[in-house]
Structure formats: structure tokens, C-alpha cells
A and B are shown apart, each in its own frame.
Chain A
Amino acid sequence: MKFIKILIGIVLIAGTFYLLDNKFGSIPPVGKFISPFTGFWQNNTSMDSFPEEINIPGLQSEVTVVWDDRRVPHIFADNDHDLYMTQGYIVARDRLWQMEFMMLGTAGRLSEVIGSDYLEYDKYRRRLGLVSASENMLEFVKKDEHTIMSMQSFADGVNTYIENLSPADYPVEYKILDYKPEKWTPLSTIIIFKSMAWTLTGNLDDKGMSQTRSVIGEEEMDKLFPLYFPFMDPIIPPGTRWDFEANIPEKPSDDFILDDMTSITDNPDNYMYGSNNWAVSGSKTASGFPMLSNDPHLNLTLPSIWYEVQLNSPEQNAYGYVIPGAPGIILGFNSNIAWGVTNGTSDFLDWYKITYKDHTRNEYLYDGKYLKTEKRIEKYEVRGVGTVLDTVIYTHYGPVVYQRNEKAFSSRIPKGYSIKWTAQDPSNDILTFHGLNKAKGFEDYYNSLKQYNNPSQNFVYADKENIAIWHSGKLPLRWEQQGRYLLDGSNPAHEWAGIIPFEQNPGIKNPKRGFVSSANQFAADKNYPYYLGWSYATYTRGAQINKRLTNMDDITYMDMAALQMDDHNLDAENALPNILIALSSNKLSTFGESAVSTLADWDNKYRSHLIEPILYEVLFRHIGKLIWDDDLVDEDGNRLRMPKSDITVDLIKNGTNSEYIQDKNKNLLMTLDSIVLLAMRYTEKELTDKYDSFDNIPSWGEYKSTSVNHLANIPGFNKPIITSGKSGLVNATSRTAGPSFRLTVSMEEKVKAWSIYPGGQSGNPGSKFYDNMVDGWAIGKVSKINFLKSVNDSNESITFKTKVNPNK
């Protein structure tokens, strides 16, 4: 009897432990999670207070961290080693979960912490070669003493922080998902760089383009997907002459036929491009010194993708934004220069069809011979499942992401093709950023960009006298349109002929017009001899920025910040007059009449309180569908690649007799007028179905419903906001993406800067500083940055000093 009692006691206690200590589905382990001593209650605002002292064993001397009222750490160290080590500790203190989660996501390891639901996502990441590319990069950067020192010191700082954590101190996301932080390594840092590289590569158009070409032919492709878009205002001022001899490879005569016709179902028309930057010369500013602005557009996430920091050592005094997980500053300024980026959007990723010798996939055809493949075994430790193995075939181009008989994670990936991507090549991009952190002038900026590889970026520059912009990164040397479509991996003539020498990359210093700018558009006009790609952003942001900068003088930081919030839609300015003319010649419903009279008085601005942007957006979408849907489908009814909005706008503005206006499905003779009228009926139906009547249509801000979402999209951790703008406008705030920070720097004697970002310095959802800047960001506020000269710089905004000791 006693034995049974003991047994029941043991079963009860073991069962209770099991039930309260384990995660079931998405339910966190209840006991662990809800305990006020160790659970989420501990992730409270007491974590916001700064420590008086920190011990980081391995530091060579004492370091001081000065905190200001914006909660920005200013790290003062006697050498770079200590600087990066302290940076690692401080960034981990605020953003540990985020940086590790980003790393796990790119390394194809989310299934380790979430479970089998993420296995296919993980496989996709590894099959793209993101980990093998990171390993290649690590081997390469090891050759540079400074880079490996910076990454190792950073990792040591992160690991010191992790070692001192008790489970109660873990960021709350670890508690929700029930796992522990692991050791940070230099490879983790490189994976973060590759994460950005993949995010900013984006041009997975080749399969869709090949399919579309196979249906409509080359000639139509050139009309609908022109190499130089209508209304285009390139980065380098038009008419710029290039004083070099271009060595362009010849296009092979053979025509390559596409064979992967599986339909594209995921977002073929999703142009997520964003980012603006510009610099104005001293002749255009009130201070007489150059100024620079930058706002890179990314997915809006909490914790924010960026963390603000100042790094000071005898080698550097740099301030700006870092990606948690990387040592140094990615974007910002120092006492001598300021720099910023927009995505270059050139094409540096191609797909090569692989012809295997047999089912073993041990060899593949190349130049009439068979070459050996390499097989890489990828191992996944899937939570709740165990070890899963996956073999990935590599050719000399890169990994074959999916074989023909496999199901692709993204239908945009052509099956049976090798990916060739400049990010797979060994390079040391970290050195570029560290070079910029320490740069003293233009020459240092230029030399730093020379070693930059991937992804291509437009680096804008300002110092106390000069401004410049350079389209940087390794750009493949190709014949015109090479890589716009899928390529034949067995044909050596389809290989890249090399890399364009950096000296011949598009760039300009101190142009006559007194400003430089970029907004992901074409780098240069037709005078530039090389083919760099075609899928750039349309003219709307670039042209608007250039138009406004041309007319601006005596510029102050407020003018620059106001330009970053510009929400004028040039597409609407170009298309709306003809749309309204078309509507005015027809009898309209009450709804239609209200819509027309509202749109007629509209200034084409996307302000959050207006309804006009909704009317225009819905109407324009229906016009686009009516024009293109009947033309761009294959025999099986699958939708093909759609042209960008500027082609539709061009057609509305200039091409009323275009054959695309006709309805091929119903064999109807349509005119632009009839299309616009029909589109207005569809608009009325869509909006009245949703909101009952014209009067009930909400404001643009409510309709758009922007939300800054948590990185793991945990409900309750997101921040919905009402804000102006939309993608494609200078203030490119869409539903889930937008300016990830807004920065303006004035290169005066004592450098001044202003910034904001849609988040907060703390990554703790229980902190006051998790999302404290989002509301200000939404209405375009910026706040002055405290750029300190030395650790003793007295400033009323300084709130705290932390002493960082070398010994335990």
C-alpha cells in the first residue's frame, strides 16, 4: 500500500512537472512562463535601467558607455578590440533575441526552435546556399586581421552577456517559444550580412520573365518590360559622359528555351523596392555645408531592424545605425563624412538550367563534357521530430535549389536550375563599412566601396566640401539582357564574362546641379555602356526627389526631413487627368459622380486623413486589370508577369489606341474611356460592398492600416498605426514596409544630425523603449542626435554612465 502511495506521489509530481515545464503547440510552458520569479513578469521596465558597472573579461582596458535621453549608447574605448567587444555586449543586452532569431532564420534553423512547420522554410534558406555562402565569406575574411578581430571581439562581448543571464533574464520571446540563447560566433555575424543580402536581392523575376516571353514574344517584352522605363530620371544626371572603353561580351546566337512552366503563384508583381538617399552641396544649404539624408525602406518590424549607437576609439568616432549582430556601424556619419545607401537593384543573380548525365545527379553537362557535381548534406535538428537530412547538389554556378521532381518553397524558383549569385563569392563587405566608419574624406569612401561586393547599393556621400554617389557592388559583365531570362547551364557562352571594373561603375562627385540622389531607379541613362539589369524602381520617387531638390535652396534639416515625408504621387499626376476626362464624357452613378468631384480637387497627395488615395488606388488597380489581365495569361489561364505601374500610366497618358486596350477574351473593341468607366463601376462595387456607401469610406490611413509587426508576428507585440504615404512614394510607407529610419546629417564644422526610426532602442516588449519612437516616426518627427566628441563631452541630454571593467 505504501509502495503504491509513493508511486502515485512520484507520478503526480512528474506529471505536474511535465505539464507545466513543456510547450504544447503554440502554448508556452505554463509553469515556467507564468511564474512571477522567472516568467514573462520579469521582462518588465526594471530592465530599462542602466547598470553602473559591467564586467567583460578579455577587455584590454576600461571602457565607458555614456547613455543619452534617447537611450543611445555612446561607447568610448581605448582600442577597437574593446570597442567591438563592448558593442557586442551592449547590443546583446538590448537585442539578443532579435539578432539570434534573424540568424536562425537565415541559417535555416527555425525548425530547431519552432518545429517541423518551419522545415520547408529552413530547407529553402539552406538550398539557396545562404549558409555555404556565409562559410565561404568567413574563410575569406579570416585573411584580414582587423575584420576577424572585430567579429571575434563582438562575439565575445555577446557571449559574456549570455553567460551572465539567468533564465529569468532571457528575453520574453525565448520564454514564449521555450528555448535558450546559444553562443554567438563570427559565422553568426556573417549570416546576418547574408540575411540582408538576400532581403535586398529580390530580383527573382527570371522564371516569370521567361514564361511571359514564351507567350508574348521578345518584341512585346521589350514594350512591356523596357530596359529604360518611361518618365525615368536616373541616378547619374542624364547626359553624363563616360570616359572609358567598355568591353561588352557578344550575345550568343543560340536561343534558349524555357522548360519549367510550373505556374508562379506567389507575388510575381510584388515590387518591394524602397529607399531614398540624397546629398546636397553647401551652395544649396542655409549653413553653407553639405547635407545628406537617407531612409532605407524595409519591412517594418519590432524590434526594429536598426539599433542606434556611437563608437569611439582612437581609430574612429562614428555614429549611426547598426544591424544587431554586426560589429561597427552600417549607416551613419563620423566627424569627417556621412554616408547612406539605397538598394542598387541591379541584377546579380541568375539561373542556369542543369542537365544531369543520369538519375544519380553525379555529373552535369557543360561545354560538351560532363563535370562532377558536389553534394552537401544539410542536417536539421527539428524540434519534436529529430534529425532530418537533406542533400543539396552544387554545380560550379551554385546550388540547384530545387530538382525537377521536388516541390519548390517559392514558385518563383525555377526547378532544375542552379542559382548564380554574387553573394556566393568570397568577399569582405564588413571592411567596407569599417572603412566608412573611419573615413577621413572622399578617397577613403571610394576605396572602401572598391572592395564592396553584395548586394549592390547606391552609396551616397557628403563631407564638409563634397557630395557624391556611387552605384557599388560587384556587377556582372554581361551582354544586353543576359540574365533577364533563364540561362542554359551547359553553354559556356551563357556564363558571365567577368565583373565590371569598379572604376567603371556608375558614380558621380559634385555634379553641377548641386545634389545627388537615388531611389532604386536606373543608375544611368543610355550613355552608360553596360547592361546592369532592368527591374528597377519606377520613376515616381526618384523623379519627385530630383524635382524638389532642383527647386530647393537655403536648405535646412527641416526641409530635408519634410522631403522624406513627401507623399505626392507622380503616377496619379500623370494618369488622373485622362482618367477624369474619360469619366466626364459618360453618365455616372451617384457614387461615380461623388468620386469624380472628389478626385478632381485632389492634389495627388497620400495624406492619412484623405479618401482620395483610396478612390485612385482602387480605380487604377481595376484599370490595370482590365488592360492587362486578358493579354498576360498563358493557354492554361495562368497569370504571367505584369508590367509595372509606369507602363499603365504611360498607356493612359499617351497610348489611348494601344492594342492592349482591346479585350482579347471577349473579343470586344474597348477604348480607354470604356475601360475607365468599367473600372469605376468595379470600384463602386468593391467599395460599397465593403463600406455600404461613399460617405462611409474610411480615411487612407485607416484603409491602408499600416502595422509595425513583431519579427515573429506574436499577437499583442505589434504596433498598428495611422500614417500617410504608400510604396512608390518618397514616404514609402505601405501596410507592412516603409522607411526603416530617417536620418539627416549636416556636415558643419561640428557635425549635426537628426533621426528617428519606427521602433525603440530596447528589444524588450515589456519596455517603455520597445516602440516609443513609432508614433513620432508616423508623423515625420525627427529628433536631434547627440554626437559626442569625447567621453567628457558635457551635454544636458546625457543621462547615465556605465563603467565597463576588464576583470571579473
Chain B
Amino acid sequence: MMKNILVCGLLYTVIQLLIPYWWIILIIPMAYYGIFSESGFKSFLEAGICIGLVWLFYSLFLYQTSAQIIAERISNMISMSNPILLIPAVFIVAFLGSGISGLSGHLIGSNFRTKSE
């Protein structure tokens, strides 16, 4: 599990830094778990955790270094009491998005993983 989370997270981060579109969080887990999935639940959980954590740590890093002003304004915009709450929100969105994409990868790839399954 740990290995999958690390490899998937690393792969995602490298590709995300090269391609500036958010939907990379859907593509990478789908492709990764299309090939390496063990079960639907594990695919969902691992994909969700690996990318959720990348988003969580990166947004936390930005918040601590340069994005405090914008985070405050956005939290005001959505009537959120404290901008720090944006960080768990980021995690939840990434967890659900990439988790579902990991699960999708598992389902779509099931046809091609007959032997291993």
C-alpha cells in the first residue's frame, strides 16, 4: 500500500508540474490503478490518499510561504470563518477526485488485468 502511494504520488507530482491542468489528478490514478490495482477499495483509498496528501502539503506550503493573502480573500468570498480550513477542503476534493479516478482505473482496467486478478 505504502509503495503504491509513494509511486503514484511521485508520478503524479512530476507530471502535474509539467502539465498545468488540474485534471491530471484524474488521469494518473486512473492509469496507475488501471494497471496495478489489487482491489477497488484499495485503489480508491490509495489514490485518494496519495494525491490528497500531495495537494494538502503543497497548499499548506503555499499558505505558509506566499498564499496567505489570497487564501484569506477566498475564505471570505465563500464565507469560511478561517482560511486554514481551506487546507482540509483541498484534501477532501483531491481525495474524492483522485480516489474515484483510482476506482475508475480499477474498473476500466479489470479487463486487461485478468491474469493478476
A-side residues, CB < 8 A to B, are 2, 5-6, 8-10, 12-13, 16-17, 20-21, 30-32, 34-46, 166-168, 172, 176, 714-717, 764-768, 770
Kindly state the separation between the CA atoms of A168 and B16 in the bound complex, as whole angstroms: 11
Contact B73 A765 (CB under 8 A): yes
How many whole Å from A325's CB to the nearest CB in chain B?
A: 24
Kindly state the separation between the CA atoms of A770 and B69 in the bound complex, as whole angstroms: 10
B-side residues, CB < 8 A to A, are 16-17, 20-26, 30, 55, 58-59, 62-63, 65-67, 69-77, 79, 86, 89-90, 93-94, 96-97, 100-101, 103-111
What are 28 inter-chain pairs, A to B, with CB distance below 8 A?
A: A2-B110, A5-B108, A5-B111, A6-B111, A8-B107, A9-B103, A9-B106, A13-B108, A16-B26, A20-B97, A32-B22, A34-B90, A35-B25, A36-B58, A36-B90, A37-B20, A37-B58, A38-B22, A40-B71, A41-B67, A41-B70, A41-B71, A764-B70, A765-B73, A766-B67, A766-B70, A768-B69, A770-B69
Cβ-neighbour of B104 out of A12, A36, A42, A716 (below 8 A): A12
Q: A2-B110, A6-B110, A12-B104 are in contact. Are A37 and B69 (CB under 8 A)?
A: no
Contact B70 A44 (CB under 8 A): yes
Cβ-neighbour of A10 out of B25, B70, B108 (below 8 A): B108
Kindly state the separation between the CA atoms of A39 and B66 in the bound complex, as whole angstroms: 14
Q: A36-B59, A44-B62 are in contact. Are A766 and B107 (CB under 8 A)?
A: no
Residues in A whose Cβ lies below 8 Å from that of B62: 36, 41-42, 44
How many whole Å from A337's CB to the nearest CB in chain B?
A: 39
Kindly state the separation between the CA atoms of A39 and B109 in the bound complex, as whole angstroms: 30
Kindly state the separation between the CA atoms of A46 and B105 in the bound complex, as whole angstroms: 36
Contact B58 A9 (CB under 8 A): no
Contact A20 B22 (CB under 8 A): yes
Q: A36-B90, A37-B17 are in contact. Are A716 and B108 (CB under 8 A)?
A: no
Kindly state the separation between the CA atoms of A696 and B1 in the bound complex, as whole angstroms: 64
Residues in A whose Cβ lies below 8 Å from that of B75: 716
How many whole Å from A25's CB to the nearest CB in chain B?
A: 13
Residues in B whose Cβ lies below 8 Å from that of A716: 72-77
Contact A166 B107 (CB under 8 A): no
Kindly state the separation between the CA atoms of A568 and B108 in the bound complex, as whole angstroms: 75
Which among B23, B75, B96 has the greatest number of chain A C-beta atoms within 10 A? Answer: B23
A-B complex: 8 closest residue pairs judged by Cβ atoms: A716-B76, A766-B70, A9-B107, A9-B108, A44-B66, A44-B67, A716-B77, A13-B104
16 other A-B residue contacts (CB within 8 Å) besides A766-B69, A770-B69:
A5-B111, A10-B108, A13-B101, A13-B108, A16-B96, A16-B100, A17-B26, A34-B90, A36-B55, A37-B22, A40-B70, A41-B63, A41-B67, A43-B70, A45-B69, A716-B73
Contact A168 B66 (CB under 8 A): no
Contact A167 B70 (CB under 8 A): no
Cβ-neighbour of B22 out of A5, A31, A43, A766 (below 8 A): A31
Kindly state the separation between the CA atoms of A31 and B99 in the bound complex, as whole angstroms: 13
Which among A9, A36, A42, A767 has the greatest number of chain B C-beta atoms within 10 A? Answer: A36
Kindly state the separation between the CA atoms of A242 and B110 in the bound complex, as whole angstroms: 93
Kindly state the separation between the CA atoms of A764 and B47 in the bound complex, as whole angstroms: 34
Q: A12-B100, A766-B67 are in contact. Are A41 and B73 (CB under 8 A)?
A: no
Closest to B77 in A: A716
Residues in A whose Cβ lies below 8 Å from that of B65: 44, 46
Kindly state the separation between the CA atoms of A765 and B74 in the bound complex, as whole angstroms: 10
Instruction: Tell me if B's interface is mostly helix, strand, loop or mixed.
Output: helix
Kindly state the separation between the CA atoms of A36 and B13 in the bound complex, as whole angstroms: 11
Contact B70 A765 (CB under 8 A): yes
How many whole Å from A44's CB to the nearest CB in chain B?
A: 4
Kindly state the separation between the CA atoms of A716 and B73 in the bound complex, as whole angstroms: 5
Kindly state the separation between the CA atoms of A37 and B24 in the bound complex, as whole angstroms: 10
Contact A31 B23 (CB under 8 A): yes
Closest to B57 in A: A36
How many whole Å from A16's CB to the nearest CB in chain B?
A: 5
Residues in B whose Cβ lies below 8 Å from that of A45: 66-67, 69
How many whole Å from B92's CB to the nearest CB in chain A?
A: 9
Contact A16 B101 (CB under 8 A): yes
Kindly state the separation between the CA atoms of A35 and B23 in the bound complex, as whole angstroms: 9
How many whole Å from B54's CB to the nearest CB in chain A?
A: 8
Q: A13-B26, A37-B22 are in contact. Are A20 and B66 (CB under 8 A)?
A: no
Kindly state the separation between the CA atoms of A166 and B18 in the bound complex, as whole angstroms: 11
Which among B74, B106, B107, B109 has the greatest number of chain A C-beta atoms within 10 A? Answer: B74
Contact B77 A715 (CB under 8 A): yes
Kindly state the separation between the CA atoms of A167 and B96 in the bound complex, as whole angstroms: 23
Residues in B whose Cβ lies below 8 Å from that of A17: 23, 26
How many whole Å from B79's CB to the nearest CB in chain A?
A: 8
How many whole Å from A362's CB to the nearest CB in chain B?
A: 50
Contact A20 B93 (CB under 8 A): yes
Closest to B30 in A: A13
Residues in A whose Cβ lies below 8 Å from that of B74: 40, 716
Kindly state the separation between the CA atoms of A32 and B26 in the bound complex, as whole angstroms: 12
Residues in A whose Cβ lies below 8 Å from that of B26: 13, 16-17
Contact A12 B77 (CB under 8 A): no
How many whole Å from A176's CB to the nearest CB in chain B?
A: 8
Residues in B whose Cβ lies below 8 Å from that of A6: 107-108, 110-111
Residues in A whose Cβ lies below 8 Å from that of B22: 20-21, 31-32, 35, 37-39
How many whole Å from A772's CB to the nearest CB in chain B?
A: 11
How many whole Å from A707's CB to the nearest CB in chain B?
A: 13
Closest to B23 in A: A17
How many whole Å from A49's CB to the nearest CB in chain B?
A: 10
Contact B93 A37 (CB under 8 A): no
Residues in A whose Cβ lies below 8 Å from that of B20: 37-38, 166-168
Closest to B109 in A: A9
Q: A35-B55, A44-B70 are in contact. Are A21 and B23 (CB under 8 A)?
A: yes
Kindly state the separation between the CA atoms of A539 and B13 in the bound complex, as whole angstroms: 65
Kindly state the separation between the CA atoms of A81 and B113 in the bound complex, as whole angstroms: 62
Closest to B62 in A: A41
Residues in A whose Cβ lies below 8 Å from that of B30: 13
Residues in B whose Cβ lies below 8 Å from that of A168: 20
Residues in A whose Cβ lies below 8 Å from that of B101: 12-13, 16
Contact B107 A16 (CB under 8 A): no
Kindly state the separation between the CA atoms of A650 and B111 in the bound complex, as whole angstroms: 90
Residues in B whose Cβ lies below 8 Å from that of A39: 22
Residues in B whose Cβ lies below 8 Å from that of A32: 22
Q: A716-B73, A716-B76, A766-B67 are in contact. Are A9 and B105 (CB under 8 A)?
A: yes
Kindly state the separation between the CA atoms of A671 and B44 in the bound complex, as whole angstroms: 82
Residues in B whose Cβ lies below 8 Å from that of A2: 110-111
Closest to A6 in B: B108
Residues in B whose Cβ lies below 8 Å from that of A46: 65-66
Which among B71, B89, B100 has the greatest number of chain A C-beta atoms within 10 A? Answer: B100
Kindly state the separation between the CA atoms of A39 and B25 in the bound complex, as whole angstroms: 13
Q: A12-B104, A37-B22 are in contact. Are A31 and B66 (CB under 8 A)?
A: no
Kindly state the separation between the CA atoms of A53 and B16 in the bound complex, as whole angstroms: 26
Kindly state the separation between the CA atoms of A5 and B97 in the bound complex, as whole angstroms: 19
Closest to A14 in B: B104
Residues in A whose Cβ lies below 8 Å from that of B21: 38, 167
Residues in B whose Cβ lies below 8 Å from that of A34: 86, 89-90, 93
Contact A717 B66 (CB under 8 A): no
Kindly state the separation between the CA atoms of A766 and B96 in the bound complex, as whole angstroms: 27
Kindly state the separation between the CA atoms of A392 and B103 in the bound complex, as whole angstroms: 55
How many whole Å from B19's CB to the nearest CB in chain A?
A: 9
How many whole Å from A97's CB to the nearest CB in chain B?
A: 14
Which among A8, A21, A35, A43 has the greatest number of chain B C-beta atoms within 10 A? Answer: A35
Closest to A167 in B: B20
Closest to B17 in A: A37
Which among B72, B73, B105 has the greatest number of chain A C-beta atoms within 10 A? Answer: B73
Cβ-neighbour of B93 out of A31, A717, A766 (below 8 A): A31
Cβ-neighbour of A41 out of B17, B59, B106 (below 8 A): B59
Kindly state the separation between the CA atoms of A350 and B58 in the bound complex, as whole angstroms: 59
Residues in B whose Cβ lies below 8 Å from that of A715: 76-77, 79
Q: A34-B93, A38-B22, A46-B66 are in contact. Are A9 and B73 (CB under 8 A)?
A: no
How many whole Å from A91's CB to the nearest CB in chain B?
A: 21
